Amino acid sequence: MINPSENAQKIANAFDKEASSYHEKFEVPLVPAIMRQIVYQHIARYIKKGDLVLDMNCGPGPDFPFLRSLGAAITGLDVSPAMLAQARARSQGEELILLDYNLVQSLKRQFTVLFSNFGGLNTQADFSGFAEKCWDCLQPNGWLIVNIMTPFPLPEILEGIISRQHFFRRLRQGKSMSVSVGDQELAVHYFWPKRFFKQYFASHFQLQELIGLGIFLPPPYGKYRHKTPSGLQRWLESRWAGSFPFRSWGDHALIIMRAKEKTQLK
């Protein structure tokens, strides 16, 4: 195993303490579960039987059952040993690797799909050079699928206005804020989806789809995560999730990119 960077080690220590409660916080509650199902509806069009999928921030493996149902061969990557222990307990022979995703090229193999779900990249501020690492790890015309947290989540802003609290809190301090994870404070960075793609990935990837997640649903945290969305909220979410400008106003954004051919690289 390659030693993770200092920042990755801090992240690992924090998420080690969250591993046992992850299921209760992010899989069981209704709103996060609905958002996860929306992700699945979209990525199912890009993953087929026999594909080699690298789950770059696999955590305790919540996405393994769905990826497995598509017939994909899964490799789970995470920097947290406790998260991988949870993933191992629910795995069905998936390969699990303790590694910082920034060192993905050290695996020295190629995958059909690289996947990072629900904010796995948001503990990092700069992704310069990351696209090339991902491109090198993908088979020709492979897919890079990332799900990031955005700075302008419409449901959170509306909730803040109603409660007269934390207006535009993600836009403060240069689109980053300190978040308590385990017993540590981690810097979490928020990205405008289209800008994130253009700044870091456009040189090696073509943008296939950009879908907002949690645009009209209740915020997926705190007292709201168990709230049952209305039929209208669900309809609006399904109707406008991929439309401009709403696709940038979700709590998260799903960005689906296709690797460019060698002749297309700048």
Give 109-119 pLDDT, tens digit per residue: 999 999 999 99
Distance CA 250, CA 152 (A): 7
Order of strands across the sheet that contains 52-55: 95-98, 73-78, 52-55, 111-116, 138-149, 252-259, 205-213
Banded pLDDT at 1 (limits 50, 70, 90): very low
pTM: 0.94
Whether the predicted pLDDT of 21 surpasses 50: yes
Higher pLDDT, residue 166 or 193: 193
pLDDT for 172 equals 58
Band of pLDDT at residue 3, cut at 50, 70 and 90? very low
Q: What is the rounded CA–CA span in Å between residue 80 and residue 19? A: 9
Domain boundaries, the chain: 6-261
Q: Give residue 168's pLDDT.
A: 62
For the cut 60, the answer to whether the pLDDT of residue 167 exceeds it is no
Q: What is the pLDDT of residue 32?
A: 94
Q: Could you tell me the two tokens for 89?
A: 């307990």
Q: Which CATH architecture has domain 6-261?
A: 3-Layer(aba) Sandwich (3.40)
Helix ranges restricted to H, the chain? 6-16, 22-26, 30-43, 64-69, 81-90, 130-136, 154-163, 193-200, 231-240
* pLDDT exceeds cutoff 60 at 4: no
Q: What is the mean pLDDT of residues 245-250?
A: 93
pLDDT in tens, 38-95: 999 999 999 999 999 999 999 999 999 999 999 999 999 999 999 999 999 999 999 9
